[in-house]
Structure 1
Amino acid sequence: MLMTETAAPAAARPARIPRWLAYAAAVVAGGLLLVSFPPYGLWFCAPVGVALLACAVRGRGVWGGLGFGWIAGVVLFVPLLSWTGTQVGWWPWILLANLEAAYIGLLGAAAAFATPLFLRYRWTWPLMTALLWTAQEYARSRTPFGGFPWGRLAFSQADAPTVRYAVLAGAPLVTLVVALAGGLLAFAAWHLASFRQAPAPGRVRPGVLPALLADLGAVAVIAAGALIPLVAPGEGRAVDIAIVQGNVPRLGLDFNEQRRAVLDNHVSATLELAAKVDRHEIRRPALVVWPENSSDIDPYVNADAYEAIDRAARTIGAPILVGAVLAPDDGHVRNTGVLWIAGQGPQQQYTKRHPVPFAEFIPMRPLVRKITKKVDLVRSDFLAGDRPGLITVPAEGGSFPVGDVICFEVAYDDIVRDTVTGGARLLVVQTNNATFNTAEALQQLSMVRLRSVEHGRPGLMASTVGVSAFVSPDGRAYDATTFNTRAALVRQTHLTVVKTPATTLGGTPEAVLAGLALFGLVMAGFVRRRARVQHTDEEEA
């Protein structure tokens, strides 16, 4: 028989905490979630933040849950996304932060709606907390305009044992585990606080045992991640890979006006790297990776840019994966990764599949222009690519495939997975952080680390200004550069071929978890209806 809340006097278990305390809990919840992400990296604060929000919205009306969830979301996303306003001003930053916070608000509303289910079946509270967080991220990663998954619980866990869950079912499972731990902590806290009556002589306080079991459960689900085996970093064919971080003359939106200087910086840094190869200080790399926007001059149509890149490739004696902006005659521009072979020029390319709305293309441009003229900074909308970023690199000992994703695409599960199912043995993230700051770069690097664990692939992030780094399949980062500096990194990388369960399962687990959350809300609706009918019957009697 299922254990229900009616097992104890109703007066002993209040349905909700006082409103002033709920406000405080929502604010602190958002703050704890914030510091779980880089640059703070206090990953263990994430489940505590989840727990506080769960307590804040329990027993509230739907509108109350929406409000407290939104408060927590604002406290989280306004500072987390502050880098989005570094160059374009405060209003796009605040608008985006509030949009993201609205999803946390909907999470709070759903949790509040489900309270009767929690009251009837106690064990559903931690489980539904986990499912609702996963469903919220499912929706936020897809809507509107293709979604914006920044700030997923999973992306705060790169240094935690829970990151290892990614190898089983990707980022959604990591989020589920973190939120489940939070739900168990909320369950424990509620039981300790709810039982105010003194225990009978010789008896333990009634709420102690359930609270202890829930706390142990929270610790167990987090610690169990350490037992999950990962792909060993030393497995697979060894190749030397180079990252060139050429830097820009100055940070800001006008990096586009520094296009030749940025290209020259990456060329000269590559020539310096080639000189070290000639002096036998380092081995010749099999591939050199330049970041996104390393050549915003289209080398297909500009002879000077073509010659500069080809000279760098000839001198280093290795293919270069160039981050280029192409501007063909069709009126659209494309953000691309171009594989450049010395003496042969561009041979393969990947076009970014998920251009960033309001940055690389402007939805509803006439309407948005009435709000701000800054939309005209994006003079031409970027055209999306239609195929995964699989690039085959020719090399001594045989060619090898790499999976190229560009900038924010690393946050999208399917875009990264498509490269691995296509055969990629190395994950490459080309990015340009010149319009942002160190916090954004570190947050992005944490995503690369999770992706390497998820798919059992070595990875790297190449940035114009930093942070650039190599990542092993166990999620550890190596040789990370400092921000706004010039650097060239070379590291031996082992190209893995193991297919993880997460790669095999793809998006199925997340869809199932979102479906279970919806099912739970339907069941909560039945419980609410049954309670109303029972209440009506009692009044009539």
Structure 2
Amino acid sequence: AINSDPREVVERHLQASRSIDSDANNPIDLVVWPENVIDVLDFESSTELREVTAQASRLNSTFSVGITEDVNQQHFTNAQVIVTPDGQVVDRYDKVRRVPFGEYMPMRSFLASLGAPVDQVPRDALAGTGPAYLDVPTASGSERISVVISWEVFFGGRAREGIKEGAGLIINPTNGSSYTWTVLQSQQIASSRLRAIETGRWVVQVSPTGFSAFVDPSGKVHQRTSISEQAVIDADVDIRTGQTIYVALGDKPWVALVILVFLFGFISRSRFRPSR
């Protein structure tokens, strides 16, 4: 839940990870934890990194975990990092599209001057600037995955950016605890389906309070959990290659097409309007 003790959240995810078994006949390439389940000052010097490393080492698997780090009293970061079995943090993606009025307060000074309760969002997340992918070491080599944190999955261009750079899979670590019993949870699964179809890739959605699921490239949802259900789900997913029409062309041609359709309709209506 949104008001859960940060340490309790970490313990729950460690407990879930301890329930996973792996052996030479059933290797696990990647374990994904949700968005911001670790809240620390500095992850790379934290106890939490050592605890994640212990599980990564036990399973001989790479972990992708969601972290928030304090920058100062006014700012924090929201990132997804890659942790290897030897405890190295080898890649990091900082969330680019922040949630307005949730992760940051737009026009904070102006709204404060109007008496708005800007203290309801006491700190602002710093926006990332890096590309939307992570490189994941596996037993068979490095694999590139596209990463869209939380509501970034609603924006096709975020997933497309990683795919354009060679990603063969999309992960969507999220934490919808502010919207646990709302329609947003279903909307997010629907958005994961869109991203899967648009890009021709599997999408792995992981949440501590909302829906977790695998979505195949046709948009079919597999193993969707219930709201706030504690579960570990696993699947063999294909690392895909190639580009769909959407990945190749992006949004601009479709926006132009919509504009042309509206213009055609407007011109046709004006041209054939009956005289009085």
Tell me the CA shift for residue 344 of structure 1.
Answer: 3.2
Partner of 1:85: none
- Asked if the contact 2:42–2:70 (Cα under 8 Å) also holds between the matched residues in 1, the reply is no
What pairs up with 1:43-442 in 2 under 5 angstroms? 251=1, 253-255=2-4, 258-273=5-20, 276-277=21-22, 283-300=26-43, 303-328=46-71, 331-369=74-112, 370=114, 372-373=116-117, 375-438=118-181, 439-442=183-186
One-letter code aligned to 1:388: P
- Aligned partner of 1:483 in structure 2 is 227
Unaligned runs of 5+ in 1: 1-250, 536-541
Q: Distance between the aligned counterparts of 1:329 and 1:341, measured in 2?
A: 28
State the distance in 2 between where 1:323 and 1:500 align.
Answer: 29
How far apart, CA to CA, are the structure 2 residues paired with 1:469 and 1:298?
30
Distance in 2 (CA, whole Å) between partners of 1:329 and 1:366 is 18
The amino acid of 1:254's aligned partner reads: N
Show the counterpart of 1:148: none
Once residues 266 and 224 of structure 2 are traced to their aligned partners in structure 1, the CA distance between those partners, rounded to angstroms, is 47
Alignment of 1:13-28 (within 5 A): none
**Alignment partner of 1:503 out of 239, 247, 265:** 247
- Name the SS of the counterpart of 1:435 in structure 2: helix
Following the alignment from structure 2 to structure 1, what is the Cα–Cα distance between the partners of residues 268 and 246? 31
Could you list the per-position Cα deviations for residues 276-333 of structure 1 after superposition, in whole angstroms to 9, with x for gaps in the alignment? 326x8x8231000001011122443652222222223222221111111122359531
Cα displacement (A) at 1:437 = 2.4
Is 2:187 the counterpart of 1:443? yes
In the alignment, the residues of structure 1 paired with residue 90 and residue 229 of structure 2 have an alpha-carbon distance, to the nearest angstrom, of: 30
TM score, norm. by length of structure 1: 0.47
Deviations 1:18-58 (A, max 9, x none): xxxxxxxxxxxxxxxxxxxxxxxxxxxxxxxxxxxxxxxxx
Q: Relative to 1, partners in 2 of residues 1:301 and 1:388: Cα closer, same or farther, differing over 3 Å?
A: closer
Q: Which has the higher strand share?
A: 2
Identity of aligned residues (%): 27
**Greater relative contact order, per chain length (Cα 8 Å cut-off, separation 6+):** 1
CA RMSD of aligned residues (A): 2.4
Higher Rg: 1
Would the alpha carbon gap of residues 416 and 398 (structure 1) be closer, same or farther in structure 2, given more than 3 Å must change?
same
Specify the SS of the correspondent of 1:402.
Answer: strand
Give, in whole Å, the separation in 2 of the partners of 1:349 and 1:361. Answer: 21
Tell me how far apart the structure 2 counterparts of residues 367 and 445 of structure 1 sit (CA, whole Å).
Answer: 36
**Counterpart in the other structure of 1:459:** 203
SS of the equivalent of 1:399 reads: strand
The 8 Å contact of residues 298 and 305 in structure 1, kept in 2 or not, is answered as: no
**Offset at residue 485 of structure 1 (A):** 1.9
Instruction: Identify if the C-alpha distance between structure 1 residues 298 and 518 changes in structure 2 by more than 3 Å, giving closer, same or farther.
Output: farther
Offset of 1:380 from its aligned partner?
A: 1.6
CA-CA distance at 1:422 after TM superposition = 0.9
Give the secondary-structure state (helix, strand or coil) at the position aligned to 2:209.
Answer: coil
8 A Cα contact 2:43 2:67, kept in partner: no
Q: Note the C-alpha offset of 1:412.
A: 0.6
Structure 2 distance, partners of 1:466, 1:347, is 28
Alignment gaps of 5+ in structure 2? none
Q: Distance in 2 between matches of 1:362 and 1:525?
A: 44
The 3-state SS of whatever aligns with 2:172 is strand
Distance 2:226 2:66 in 1: 20
More helix by share: 1
TM-score, normalised on structure 2?
A: 0.90
Paired residues in the alignment total: 274
Question: Which amino acid is 1:487 matched to?
Answer: A
